[in-house]
Structure 1
Amino acid sequence: MAFNTVWIPDKNQLKSQYNEFHAHFAVLLKRLEDHLRATVKVSALLTYKTRVKSFDSYYKKLLKFPPTDPAIRFPLVTDLIGIRIVCPFLQNLSEVENILIKNFTVREVERKGADRTFCEFGYESTHILADIPESFKVGLLLPENLIFEVQIRTILQDAWAEVEHELIYKFEFSPFDFPLKRKFASINASLSLADILFQEIRDAQTSLNMELDRRREQFYLRADEFTDGLLGDHSGAEEKSGMNSSNTSSLETIDTMIFYAIKAHNNGDFQTAETLYTKILNQKPNALVASIVYKHRGMAFFAQGAYEDAYKDFSASLNENPKNFRSYYYAGIVLMMTDKNPEAIEMFTKSLEINGYQAHVYFRRALAYFQENQLILALHDLDNAAALGLSAEEEKKLRAAIAKKIDMV
């Protein structure tokens, strides 16, 4: 009569071996975590959860998935060393995954929950199994062929996984009755939808910020032409080409209108930009929104050389929100370009009173002091601007011009 050979682990022997390794596992885990924190920088909001699997959890999993080779002295499970990286947005999941693939020898990538239908529930998570680099093992006593697992989740995926663990997995319970299943599916679907919406909002913000950066750059280019003229550089800057006006009748929400107004502004279509900015203001938005829109429209006027209209809009922006330090700064630049340096100095000073860490504002006020022959004050502001990171080229030009004036006095 033949008997099936069944692998029966010696629990006490395995526990003794586990205890020998445990302190070394902990050191290894810390090395891996430190390396990941230094390497994975897709967001400042990443959080890390790490653990060495407890012996009891290790032993239970070993019984569930016994080794194919009973001769192995210390059989391994894939998630003995585990690191979870929790990300704020869905986009971060693939970004983290790509970084891991580039930096480690990856054995397996599993996307749990990806094959579920809309009526099923369960957590979603990306699990990556990877080899441990030899340099991380130096000085450690470790079992052969040890690997580690990285789980990548969003904040909401992680929250769902924790709750699911408590309600289902931990108690070995699975809902059979349809209304209860529907409740779990509804919760899971709501969290998945929230993740998608968060990512869409993030994408929209990223696009808007890119347009804002382009618009500020164009504003500063025009202001820099004036500065270069003061300091003897007449090379100027290239003009941006315009574009045809677009149909704005279908744009209804303030967010949409702001985005398309800034986009038109950046492309030199000032007529469309002004139309959209004015349309927003006609809707009587709250003071904070109105302040921002007046500021944007003022920048559009400024870009066209309509300095009087620009100054009126910057002043209107400040009437709506007296704490808008950028509007003080922009108003100051307009005043400088219309040869009103004392008033410009006052505007720059108010901007710095609200936010004293603006290198460019110290630089512009130094220019205004320079124009007014208040050279000591100009040098003081230039020193502050340099301390806050003003480019060496800008500092060098103005400092040379101040020195030249001092020699002439």
Structure 2
Amino acid sequence: MLPMEQFRKFKNEITRFLMDYKFALDAFETKIEILKEEFQFFHDYNPIEHTKSRLKSPESILKKMYKKGCDISLEGIRSEIKDIAGMRITCSFISDIYRIADMLRAQSDLKICEVKDYIQSPKPNGYQSLHLIIEIPVYMSDRQENVCIEVQIRTIAMDFWASLEHKIYYKYNREIPSHLLQELKEASESAAALDRQMERLHKEISEIKESQMEEREEELKRISLSNQQFPIPEALVRLMSGVEET
């Protein structure tokens, strides 16, 4: 057992280390909220259904380091483990996933360190998601730390499948019966087909909405009286609005 003073110092170091990741998540969550609000305001649409963030526990970090066979030190942990802090972003449509990824790439203070696209190339068990390792600056009172967080972006269908697979995985202590593995794979294919169908519907609805907006704009340019329609001259619009012709 460590002496009390030494243990207190060790605890403070661990706490400070984890705070870096906690604050990185806080900063990233703020960015996501801003993107959601801006997108809703200008596009009358929100590509993000919900988000969930988490920090790995010291015990979980230690197990992962042992599994990797790495030396146990704070710098070693920072170097070897990139998913201490993580956020899952759930969307309605596949196109939203890549739209969000593009918005994150456009953030000048974020660095995309790694991309794993399990949508274009699903895992053998059927798992689909877009994984990003993002480096984000954290400004402390006495220093700046560049902290990595893992961001998983997936559709609702992908998230439902992953949640079910995770539950089955641990229920059977990682030894899943072969017939369940096959059914899980088939369920993944069904979820992917549903995502593609919903994407087509979403695109078609968007096109109809855009067409209706164009029709409404044309209606605004006409006056309807009884069975007659009169176009509103541009010159009259400028005259009534006080805009002089040049």
TM-score normalized with structure 1 length: 0.47
AA partner of residue 150 (structure 1): V
Secondary structure of the structure 1 residue equivalent to 2:174? coil
Does 1:108 pair with 2:104? no
In structure 2, distance between residues paired with 1:16 and 1:107: 29
AA partner of residue 38 (structure 1): I
Report the CA distance shift for 1:129/1:14 in structure 2 as closer, same or farther (over 3 A): farther
Matches within 5 A, 1:3-402: 17-39=13-35, 41=39, 43-44=45-46, 46=48, 47-67=50-70, 73=75, 75-76=77-78, 77-103=81-107, 104-112=110-118, 114-116=120-122, 120-133=124-137, 136-139=138-141, 146-169=147-170, 171-177=172-178, 179-223=179-223, 226=230, 235=235
Residue 66 of structure 1: how far off its partner (Å)? 3.9
In structure 2, distance between residues paired with 1:74 and 1:13: 19
Report the CA distance shift for 1:182/1:170 in structure 2 as closer, same or farther (over 3 A): closer
Q: Conserved in 1, the CA contact under 8 Å of 2:24 and 2:149?
A: no
| Cα-to-partner distance string for 1:323-343 (whole Å, 9 max, x where unaligned) | xxxxxxxxxxxxxxxxxxxxx
Q: Conserved in 1, the CA contact under 8 Å of 2:83 and 2:149?
A: yes
| Cα-to-partner distance string for 1:269-291 (whole Å, 9 max, x where unaligned) | xxxxxxxxxxxxxxxxxxxxxxx
Flag the structure with higher helix content: 1
Residue 127 of structure 1: how far off its partner (Å)? 0.8
| Cα-to-partner distance string for 1:143-190 (whole Å, 9 max, x where unaligned) | x6531111111111111111111111575424352x333211221111
Secondary structure of the structure 2 residue equivalent to 1:175? coil
Secondary structure of the structure 1 residue equivalent to 2:163? helix
Report the CA distance shift for 1:39/1:170 in structure 2 as closer, same or farther (over 3 A): farther
Aligned length, in residue pairs: 220
AA partner of residue 51 (structure 1): R
Residue 17 of structure 1: how far off its partner (Å)? 3.4
Secondary structure of the structure 2 residue equivalent to 1:160? helix
Q: Conserved in 2, the CA contact under 8 Å of 1:29 and 1:50?
A: yes
In structure 2, distance between residues paired with 1:234 and 1:86: 46
In structure 1, distance between residues paired with 2:113 and 2:234: 60
The answer for the alignment partner of 1:321 in structure 2 is: none
| Cα-to-partner distance string for 1:338-389 (whole Å, 9 max, x where unaligned) | xxxxxxxxxxxxxxxxxxxxxxxxxxxxxxxxxxxxxxxxxxxxxxxxxxxx
Q: Conserved in 2, the CA contact under 8 Å of 1:175 and 1:181?
A: yes
| Cα-to-partner distance string for 1:215-272 (whole Å, 9 max, x where unaligned) | 11112211298595xxxx77379xxxxxxxxxxxxxxxxxxxxxxxxxxxxxxxxxxx
Q: Conserved in 2, the CA contact under 8 Å of 1:14 and 1:74?
A: no
Residue 113 of structure 1: how far off its partner (Å)? 5.7
AA partner of residue 190 (structure 1): S
Q: CA RMSD in A?
A: 3.4
Q: Conserved in 2, the CA contact under 8 Å of 1:28 and 1:137?
A: no
Residue 88 of structure 1: how far off its partner (Å)? 1.0
Residue 62 of structure 1: how far off its partner (Å)? 1.6
Residue 204 of structure 1: how far off its partner (Å)? 0.6
Structure with more contact order per residue of length (Cα contacts < 8 Å, sep ≥ 6): 2
Q: Conserved in 2, the CA contact under 8 Å of 1:48 and 1:84?
A: yes
Residue 97 of structure 1: how far off its partner (Å)? 0.9
AA partner of residue 52 (structure 1): L
Q: Name the % identity.
A: 23
Q: Conserved in 1, the CA contact under 8 Å of 2:24 and 2:136?
A: no
AA partner of residue 114 (structure 2): E
Flag the structure with higher strand content: 2
AA partner of residue 166 (structure 1): K
Secondary structure of the structure 1 residue equivalent to 2:150? strand
Q: Conserved in 1, the CA contact under 8 Å of 2:65 and 2:72?
A: no
In structure 1, distance between residues paired with 2:157 and 2:33: 21
Residue 83 of structure 1: how far off its partner (Å)? 1.4
Residue 72 of structure 1: how far off its partner (Å)? 5.8
Q: Conserved in 1, the CA contact under 8 Å of 2:47 and 2:96?
A: no
Higher Rg: 1
